[in-house]
Chain A
Amino acid sequence: MDNPATYLHWGFILISVPNAALILGMIALFLLALLAPFPGHRGGRSKGHGTDE
């Protein structure tokens, strides 16, 4: 951990591997939050404007 991080370099983009991994992980989490089914007693996604008790 005391060593400097490895950097990725494409053209004008310069980013450390830990920062790139964090950003990719956040994008993956965001996509997962959008697409993963939410557990619930009715299951599935919203069908309309109704309320769920």
Chain B
Amino acid sequence: MNETIDPEVRGSWTFAIRRYLLQALPPEHLLPERQPAFVRSWTYVLGAITLASLVWVVISGAVCAFFGPQWWHVSPQGRFFNSLHFWSTQVFFVFMVLHLWAQFFGAGWRDGRALTWITGVLLFVLSIGTAFTGYLSQENFDSQWIGVNAKDAMNAVGIGAFFNVLNFGQMYGLHVLLLPAGLLLFVAVHILLVRMRGVVRPLSEETR
């Protein structure tokens, strides 16, 4: 590739990034065509189910954001999508925690996978924040109750002035834009790291 590139271009930072990404993530190998035999286990499916439920969370959330709170509280279609958003979030959290258990008890950070583990931990924390702001964005008595109780905890740790749980606009903006953007970014990094480093061997295979 380098022979046909102008020397000036070859020294540019965009070319360096492009060369690194093409080496680290060759496009023809981004989707796996071969997997180690030990991947034939349901424990390796838990992360995939988490990802699938996240797709439903994003789709149902986008529909709710488009039509707004009155629609999701009053119309049958709105209540359906509101419920879809709520229950896909429950499935997302259940399978994310099962995926966490599988990776924790299987020591998923072994053999140079520390960054994969760390991005997973960051995703867990970001997901809790996204779900929390989601509960505060419901626009019902439940969200008021959660907000009124949570404000004391936020003030106690000194972030109440910056993170006002009684401010619907702030919580809604965080829930539908900033936190999901961060979440999707780290999900992409997490999955790319899994593709780059591969899935970890089970502990039972370590001694063989």
Contacts and interface: CB of A to CB of B under 8 A. Distances in A.
Interface residues of A, number: 20
B208 A52 contact: no
Contacts of A14: none
A42 B208 CA distance: 21
Q: Is the interface of A mostly helix, strand, loop or mixed?
A: loop
Interface in A5-52: 22, 26, 29-30, 32-34, 36, 38, 40, 42, 45-52
Interface magnitude class on chain B: 20 to 34
Given A26-B97, A30-B102, A33-B43, A46 B33 contact: no
A33 B45 contact: yes
Interface in B32-51: 33-43, 45-46
B103 to A, nearest CB: 12
Contacts of A26: 94, 97-98
Contacts of B205: 46, 48-49
B152 to A, nearest CB: 21
A49 B36 contact: yes
B101 interface: yes
Contact of B98 (A33, A40, A42, A48): A33
A29 B101 CA distance: 11
Of the listed residues A33, A40, A47, A49, the one surrounded by the most CB atoms of chain B closer than 10 A to its CB is A33
Given A26-B98, A48-B208, A49-B208, A33 B37 contact: no
A34 B39 CA distance: 12
Nearest to A40: B40
Nearest to B94: A26
A53 B98 contact: no
Contacts of A42: 40
Contacts of B46: 33
A26 B102 CA distance: 12
Nearest to B97: A26
25 contacts: A22-B94, A26-B94, A26-B97, A30-B101, A32-B42, A33-B42, A33-B43, A33-B45, A33-B46, A33-B102, A34-B41, A34-B43, A42-B40, A46-B37, A46-B41, A46-B205, A47-B37, A48-B208, A49-B36, A49-B201, A49-B208, A51-B34, A51-B35, A52-B36, A53-B34
Interface of A: 22, 26, 29-30, 32-34, 36, 38, 40, 42, 45-53
Interface of B: 33-43, 45-46, 94, 97-98, 101-102, 201-202, 205, 208
